Amino acid sequence: MIFIIFQDGIDFYWARSRVLERLNFVQSLLPRDVIPRLGPDATGLGQIFWYTVEGPGYDLGQLRSIQDWYVRYQLNAVEGVSEVAGVGGFVKQYQIDIDPNKLFAYGVTTAGVYEAVRKSNIDVGAKVVETSSMEFIIRGLGFIKNVDDIENIMVGSYNGVPVFIKNIGTVQVGGDFRRGALDKEGAEVVGGIVIMRQGENPLEVIKRIKKKIKEIGPGLPEGVKIVPFYDREGLIYRVIDTLREALIEEIIITSVVVALFLLHVRSIIICILGFPISILISFLGMYFMGIDSNIMSLTGIAIAIGEVSDMSIIMTENIFRNLAEQKDKKPRAQIILDASKEVGSSIFFAALTTICMFFPVFGLTGQEGKLFKPLAWTKTFAIGASVVMAITLVPILCTYFIKGKLKPMEENFTSRALLRGYEPVLRWVLNHKRTFLAIPLVIVILSAFLAKRLGREFMPPLDEGSILFMPVMLPSVSLTEALKIMQKQDMIIKSFPEIDTVVGKLGRADTATDPAPVEMFETLVALKPENEWRKKKIEYTFLNHVPSFLHPMFHFFLPDERTITKQELIQEMDEAMRIPGVANIWTQPIVNRIDMLATGIRTSVGVKVFGPDLNVIQQLALDVEKALKAVPGVADLYAERVTGKPYLEYKIKREEIARYGVNIRDVQDIIETAIGGENITTTVEGRHRYPVRVRYMRELRDNFDALKRIYVPGSTGQQIPITQVADIHYVMGPAMISSENALLRAYVLMNVRGRDPMSFVEEASKVVSQKVMLPHGYFIQWSGQFENQIRARKRLQILVPLSQFIGFILIFMAFKSIPQTMFILFAGIPTAIAGGVILLYLFGYNFSVAVWVGFISIFGIVDDDSVLITTYINDLFGERKMKSVQEIRNTILLAGTRRIRPCMMTAATTFIGLLPILWSTGAGSEVAKPMAIPSIGGMAMALISVFIVPCLNAWHKEYKFKKALKKDPGIAETGILV
């Protein structure tokens, strides 16, 4: 089996056509009868629906026939399905077991039997004949329909008497040779795997599959039913429900924040209108861009909710304030127009910088690009819609809605409370600039120390609500023994009360997307709802230092028990299944498929050992395994056993076969067909097709001694013992040969628990390089999801500074001042990063691509308040001449107090609006939280920018004023524009 990985952006079907072209060329280089075939237009990640076919009174062969010849074809016809693979049970097979002694007695050869069977299974057509004005189609019927038809096939004659199959052997119905099995809670079953076509929507395909199952149910034999045991529909709905709830809570909370600040019902309605309009436009954009509603696209809307209302808030608040202050001074329409112009440019440039700062996410490639680009698009759609609405629709709505008696800001309870807290603090800041600026500097330095203690990973794991148990055995294990062990494991897992269903698969299903050997198991463990899980008693150690008579009081407020965690459950199951010769690996179905597709390994981290000799690379893999055992954080460590499969080899002696007039092919045919058995034809029984195979009787080939007594027909008809023409050896060899880019390869598999993957890989790679000596021509390569993290980090190290530079240019174009541009950019961003890092540290999250996206999302937001305040500062200083430093400070103070309400409103809606994601616990919250935490911590800390920007502007303008005053002392009387 060959896997070919193309670069991102290559059309899937173009790639398939290129492979087909090369296969046509390769065909001529392959041995006779080897026919390469392209796999389905799907990937291993497309295994979206697993089911069993069950029915009392039916054996595994009958159920497999129902699966293969009825269920499979019906489900394969569902739109979006690429393939339906059968697994488990036995494929019905007509088995001809011949006795070589009887062959010798009747003078019949094995080759003669094969040829006779082939020629006895054929229907023909002979066109038509016309008679009585009718046309009759002529057919010759000769297909094998049952055991009797096979038994009565003539294979030769003896003394003029026909010799039939039944004279030289027995015919029975049995199971074909298999390389896989399926078990459900200790009982072997038959099942199927539905594989989705590349690029389809899994939720829609699953719905169609379930609909089709209901349709075909009445056509199943009595008592037979299709029982699904794994599909992604539940996970998809749980994730969407989690984010939908978070979105609704965000909208409610943000609306409450707006209401508290404005205390004007009609203004509140104007601001809140931005939510449905922006979300609607986002969904329209998703529809036209072909973006599905999933965890990432919905998270993009969720983290944009707080920002969606910001632009409308700024515009509405400014119009409201101007109408309240200038009610009788100008016409109403002119006041609204002037107020809109006053903040319109600030809104536009603030939004433009927000969107530009988010451009690095669009530049991500590979797996991270596929994950986060939908988020970037939906967030951009939402913010873009809110800007257009704020500049165009909000002023019109204000004309109709903001009427009646309007309270000035000073009379608003919330605004008064805000001003009472803000004004004296800002006054102190302006008088003690150096002391104040030391505070954010200390915070930034503290965050730098904390950042060094945070781990690194690609993505936080998504809790899929199910477990994939993938134990691996030694390659020498037989299918029968492996099945016994898997059944035992499944029964142990089922005994845990948190488990709903357990279905285990060993070996491979009948699909190119599942190249598993017999020694590899895949056990899907479906969990019950968490409210049905066991409870564990909580031990409060601090109570040991509290007098016992106070304990009841603490227990009244503190819970006495908690639900067992998923990791604790896995640990308990792992301990219960310590079986000698079995290496346990615990993961999740989707994560496992992604790991295997991206890196070729089935754990989160792995080592690939490359070289020209299988025995050497296996020993190196074992050395790596030994070296890694002591590294903290390693779990599920297992070095792949490349060799270790027992082989029984017939080494043909060319000189000996020449004496008997026998060639290599004759001997190999006996080994291949008489011992191994060969499907030589296929029966046609209605819609069903079953193989017919010929093989020596079981008792003549089921042990080593019997295999030495096999006979090879000579050129004169004599029977030659195979030991005379071949030497028999028992050797150990590879169970499966793996290669990558034309080099032989072995794996060392491992998971990482209790620490971040990046620091583990860094430490483990140093340990391996010190303890494992690599011969010439051999090398190792670390692989896993951390590779995506490294690639994303390198790309963002280029894109983020570039986006910052673009943001700098945009802000400079708006203010035409390098100092002010620097103040705006670096007043909020360092403190926002510091706040995000501190909150990440407190919540125990690692740095990941999701976290970096969360930081990128606030780079543009934290500048918004700075732009707003700076714009108003420039407006005031543009129309007033300053005569003293105190006058400069008073003007800065006025600008700050006039803009503090919209600044606090926008910051509060962004900060508080994301809190529902922080406290969400449903599926998908594991991915959404790391993106929300930097925004929450960053916005909370970035509120300090409402002091930093006035402080820096005051310092700059005071410096300019003092410099001008030295040159012309008369400025103190006439004033100067600074």
Q: What is the pLDDT of residues 65-90, one digit of tens each?
A: 999 999 999 999 999 999 999 999 99
> What pLDDT score does 78 carry?
92
> What pLDDT score does 821 carry?
85
Distance (Å, whole) CA 759 – CA 227 = 44
**Higher pLDDT, residue 906 or 393:** 393
Distance (Å, whole) CA 443 – CA 402 = 42
Looking at 3.40.50.2000, 3.40.50.720, 1.10.240.10, 1.20.1640.10, the CATH number of the domain 263-411 comes to 1.20.1640.10
- Coil, helix or strand at residue 659: helix
**Higher pLDDT, residue 422 or 560:** 422
Share of the chain above pLDDT 70, in %: 97
Q: Per-residue confidence at 97, pLDDT binned at 50, 70, 90?
A: very high
Q: Per-residue confidence at 224, pLDDT binned at 50, 70, 90?
A: very high
pLDDT at 539 over 80: no
> What pLDDT score does 271 carry?
77
Q: What is the mean pLDDT of residues 320-329?
A: 76
Share of the chain above pLDDT 90, in %: 20
Q: Per-residue confidence at 892, pLDDT binned at 50, 70, 90?
A: confident
Q: What is the mean pLDDT of residues 570-581?
A: 87
> What pLDDT score does 111 carry?
84
pLDDT at 326 over 90: no
Q: Give backbone dihedrals phi and psi of 161, rounded to 5 degrees, phi first.
A: -105, 130
CB-CB neighbours of 519 under 10 Å: 27
> What pLDDT score does 848 carry?
85
**Higher pLDDT, residue 8 or 396:** 396
pLDDT at 449 over 70: yes
Q: What is the mean pLDDT of residues 7-12?
A: 80
> What pLDDT score does 928 carry?
78
CB-CB neighbours of 31 under 10 Å: 5
* Cβ atoms of residues 732 and 645 within 8 Å: yes
Q: Per-residue confidence at 903, pLDDT binned at 50, 70, 90?
A: confident
Q: Are strands 134-140 and 124-131 parallel, antiparallel or unpaired?
A: antiparallel
pLDDT at 408 over 70: no
Mean of the per-residue pLDDT values of the chain: 84
Query: CATH 1.20.1640.10 spans which residues of the chain?
Result: 263-411, 413-453+817-977
> What pLDDT score does 529 carry?
86
> What pLDDT score does 404 carry?
67
> What pLDDT score does 192 carry?
93
Q: Is domain 100-167+646-734 in CATH 3.40.190.290, yes or no?
A: no
- Domain 413-453+817-977 carries which CATH code? 1.20.1640.10
pLDDT at 409 over 70: no
Distance (Å, whole) CA 403 – CA 423 = 29
Q: What is the mean pLDDT of residues 921-946?
A: 79
pLDDT at 555 over 70: no
Distance (Å, whole) CA 599 – CA 608 = 10
> What pLDDT score does 792 carry?
85
Across 11-20, 807-816, 850-859, the highest mean pLDDT is recorded for 11-20
Q: Give backbone dihedrals phi and psi of 234, rounded to 5 degrees, phi first.
A: -60, -45
Query: CATH 3.30.2090.10 spans which residues of the chain?
Result: 100-167+646-734
> What pLDDT score does 925 carry?
76
What pLDDT, in 10s, does the model give residues 275-314?
A: 788 888 888 888 888 887 777 787 788 777 767 777 777 7
User: How far does CA 364 lie from the centroid of its chain?
Assistant: 16
Distance (Å, whole) CA 952 – CA 519 = 68
Across 289-303, 418-432, 583-597, 857-871, the highest mean pLDDT is recorded for 418-432
Q: CA angle 344-345-351, nearest 5°?
A: 90
Distance (Å, whole) CA 163 – CA 156 = 5
